[in-house]
Amino acid sequence: MKRFSIHFVLLILLVSIAGCSNPYSNNVKKNSNVSAAANQNESTGEAINLTWASGSLGGGWYSMAGGLSSMIQEKSSNINIRVIPGGSLQNIPFIAKGTAQLAFEQPAFITAGKNGEDPFDKKYSDLLAVGNGFGLNYFHFAIDPSIGVESIDEIFEKKLPINIAVTPVNNTDEWVLRKFLEYYGVTYEDIESWGGKIFHGSYTEQAQQFKDGNVDVMFTQLALPGSAITEASNGRDLKILPMSDDLIEYLSQYGIEKGVIPANTYPEVINGDEDIQMAAMGTLLVASNKVPEDVVYNITKTINESQDRLKSIHSALNGFSSEKAIEGLGTDLHPGAEKYYKEIDVIK
């Protein structure tokens, strides 16, 4: 009996020791987010799981995030990145809620988020910059040329019954479309009263709706060349109407700037051989302030030291440079990014 008791006690001790041998093992398995990664680092080789909020399916942000994340994972085998759809208006709350730890963003919305200004109803202080210069996104006002107009102004002056495709409500493109319509003194209700309608969907869905003849206009914000425009023009005649100086000046109060879609960006588009003036917005990569410094350092290092490969991921990345990456951020640099830029003397 005594021998049995001793064996039993020894068994309990062994089980207890085994259970205490790795206090983080269960947390890492159960919690694949960045809070678990805070207890991990490069030297241990343990997996760090991150989610990257990008843009709508079929858009440049989604494509770029996929290509960049693959490149980062090749260089840092312990970093795992999952790309999800998003947009400027969704990505800031995604970071705050922990839904994502990395995101593409735009300076105007970063500033608005920090200050709790339109289009946000609260302040967000959770995101820090990894770098700027991930390409300009150009707004496209693409129409079926059979509408018979030569300018955007003409559509609204004539109150034409147009069907417009745009991203879902509370997405960047949809928010900008409302500001765009404000310039003309027009609302969704006005368009519907003229016999038109608004279709909300992803870029892929918009292109299909255009090809099927269900919408006459696509209002999109895309890195060049936008695959949704290319796809839409493959199934139906398409023309991109330029935006006037006055319209772009009105939109500039929202952090939107003047840009030009270069001739031959879209060979299939009817006026694709012309330079087309459009509104545009820049793109930053941001990270949650909860992502460990060494993780962001490695991400920043990989991107900056692979510039010869960036153009193969997306042509919008052709202009990326380490020097410009620290300009016009709208928020502070993440300590990991700052460490890298100091290391290469971009920050003195």
CATH code of the domain containing 60: 3.40.190.10
Same domain assignment for residues 143 and 50: no
Q: How far apart are CA 13 and CA 181, in angstroms?
A: 72
pLDDT attached to residue 59 = 84
Instruction: For residue 222, give its domain range.
Output: 138-280
186 lies in the same domain as 270 = yes
229 and 251 housed in the same domain = yes
Backbone Cα Rg of the chain? 24
DSSP for 113-161, written as a single string: HHHT-TT-SS----EEEEEEEEEEEEEEEEE-GGG--SSHHHHHHTT--
Distance CA 242, CA 269 (A): 13
User: Residue 233: in which H helix or E strand, if any?
Assistant: helix 227-235
pLDDT above 90 (res 155): yes
Quick one: tokens of 110? 């970063």
Question: Which range has the top average pLDDT, 7-21, 55-69, 262-276?
Answer: 262-276
Both tokens assigned to 4: 């049995």
Output the pLDDT for position 37. Answer: 44
Mean pLDDT of the chain: 88
Classify residue 36: in a domain, yes or no.
no
Q: What is the pLDDT of residues 121-130, one digit of tens each?
A: 999 989 999 9
pLDDT at 44: 54
Distance CA 173, CA 300 (A): 28
Q: Indicate if 109 and 242 belong to the same structural domain.
A: no
Q: Is residue 153 part of a domain?
A: yes
Same domain assignment for residues 126 and 142: no
Pairing verdict, β 127-143 and 239-240:
antiparallel
d(Cα 110, Cα 123) in Å, to the nearest integer? 10
Same-domain pairing of 159 and 110: no
Q: Which residues contact 52 (CB under 8 A, 6 or more apart)?
A: 65, 69, 81, 82, 83, 84, 100, 101, 102, 103
Q: Are residues 86 and 198 in the same domain?
A: no
In a domain, 20, yes or no: no
pLDDT of residue 130: 98
Q: At residue 34, does pLDDT exceed 80?
A: no
Whether residues 144 and 274 share a domain: the answer is yes
Q: Which amino acid is at 301?
A: K
Is residue 115, in this structure, part of any structural domain at all?
Answer: yes
Task: Indicate the residue among 261, 280, 299 that finishes a domain.
Answer: 280
Name the residue with higher pLDDT: 5 or 67.
67
pLDDT of residue 107: 87
In a domain, 202, yes or no: yes
Q: Which of 280, 314, 334 is the last residue of a domain?
A: 280
CB neighbours of residue 235 within 10 Å: 14
Last residue of a domain, one of 280, 298, 333: 280
Question: Does the residue 125 lie in any domain?
Answer: yes
Residue 246: CB partners within 8 Å, gap ≥ 6?
A: 183
Distances (CA, A) of 246 to 221, 251, 257, 293, 343: 19, 9, 12, 44, 44
Confidence band for 45, pLDDT divided at 50, 70 and 90: low
The two three-digit tokens of residue 124, written as one number: 């967000």
Question: Hey, CA dihedral for 330, 335, 340, 343, is it positive or negative?
Answer: positive
In a domain, 250, yes or no: yes
Predicted pLDDT at 173? 92
Whether residue 298 is found in the same domain as residue 332: yes
Q: Do 232 and 163 share a structural domain?
A: yes
Other CB atoms closer than 10 Å to residue 200's CB: what's the count?
15
pLDDT of residue 289: 97
Confirm if 215 and 165 have CB atoms less than 8 A apart.
yes
* Paired residues of 278 in beta bridges: 259
Give how many domains the chain has, as a whole number: 2
Residue 19, amino acid: G
Q: Residue 83: inside a domain, yes or no? A: yes
The 10s digit of each residue's pLDDT in 170-218 is 888 999 999 999 999 999 999 999 999 999 999 999 999 999 999 999 9
To the nearest whole percent, how much of the chain has pLDDT over 70? 87
Q: Quick one: 130 and 199 in the same domain?
A: no
Residue 171 has a pLDDT of 86
pLDDT at 29 over 90: no
Residues 142 and 238 in one domain: yes
Quote the distance between the C-alpha of residue 86 and its chain's center. Answer: 6
